[in-house]
Chain A
């Protein structure tokens, strides 16, 4: 059984193809870490997997409402308290696990504080706690450890490990080692889209002057 499978995927940023021929599958308990230089198209790939943009070619197969996406931006509202922020997302996803998520990400002491008064790392922890209240099996995360200190990274890795142990899966774009024993690596460099001269995908407007 696979939770998420990606077949021969090609994605474009703006009008430009950036990646092609990407394929992988995630079974319960598996994690895949995406690597590659800046601009290779990690964010574009993750947004496509999350369903926010259509692929140029290929397929993303996942059960409906299986994917929880965590972007660069956390979607944290500064004027709401930590508890209110998390409670809102729990409500949206029809879940009731706010207290558990607060404990897991070590936010219990901050629950009644407004998000405006959190440090960058604390805000990031709140953003990741949101994943815990979605109740969805596949976590798709874009640079989740930005602005986290070593202790928080460990906390986060622990949360991911627990999620995997419970039969979840994770797709993570990151540059640091999370210390996840089971995680596989996928370097995206070989999947860089070729220019049309080398047999790559042609845009609609190349044909006009062929």
Chain B
């Protein structure tokens, strides 16, 4: 399993792996929104938590179809399915690899983008914490969506249609944490719910993803 993680990371980082695309997209969102909304600091401060979360969501979505599609095309997925690694483990490791190359960089650069969007001072800590807790759920939910559509020729658009509704609870609680944090309110409840969704998704969705892959390989 470690070997699979290392291979996936290596594939992402080498030429053509698409590493950094999600990050660049996240950056673009944060630059483009003020250009559309206008430069008033108060307006930007108000919408910053929502924009940053929506940006993170869309950046994650961009690279989801690579999780399984490339391995499906070159036959690796067939071979992995007949290997000693359980398919549930394959799904979990691939979601983890996706988070390490997409989610984690988003968490790391989010304070800088918060600055661009004029996020109020107390919000930074909660922004980083909420993204760190929430983005693993985005990756594992996305892996499930990618598993559902892996056998389809042009599954990308369909996958967005399937995955975005599943992202709603994470988005709501995640943005709520940042909103409340930025306003200096207590964030305990949404933070706990966000963590709960992530924990539940991590525990259960690899099984659903593995089931979907088995069906698609048949």
Contacts and interface: CB of A to CB of B under 8 A. Distances in A.
> Are both chains from one complex?
yes
B75 A92 contact: no
Contact of A94 (B15, B78, B84, B217): B84
Interface residue SS majority, chain B: helix
A191 interface: no
Given A52-B218, A73-B75, A74-B75, A80 B7 contact: yes
B56 to A, nearest CB: 27
A69 B78 contact: yes
B165 interface: no
B15 A76 contact: no
A67 interface: yes
Nearest to B73: A73
Interface stretch (A24-32, A83-91, A160-168): A83-91
B4 interface: yes
B81 to A, nearest CB: 6
Contact of A67 (B17, B78, B82): B82
A interface, over-half SS: loop
A58 B2 CA distance: 37
A52 B75 CA distance: 12
**What bracket does the count of chain B residues touching chain A fall in?**
20 to 34
Contacts of B71: 75
A77 B76 contact: yes
Given A53-B218, A54-B218, A77-B74, A92 B11 contact: no
Contacts of A92: 3-4, 80, 83-85
Contact of B15 (A65, A75, A79): A79
Contacts of A67: 82
Nearest to A114: B14
Given A69-B78, A74-B75, A92-B3, 11 more contacts: A51-B82, A53-B218, A69-B79, A71-B75, A75-B74, A77-B7, A77-B11, A79-B10, A80-B10, A88-B4, A92-B4
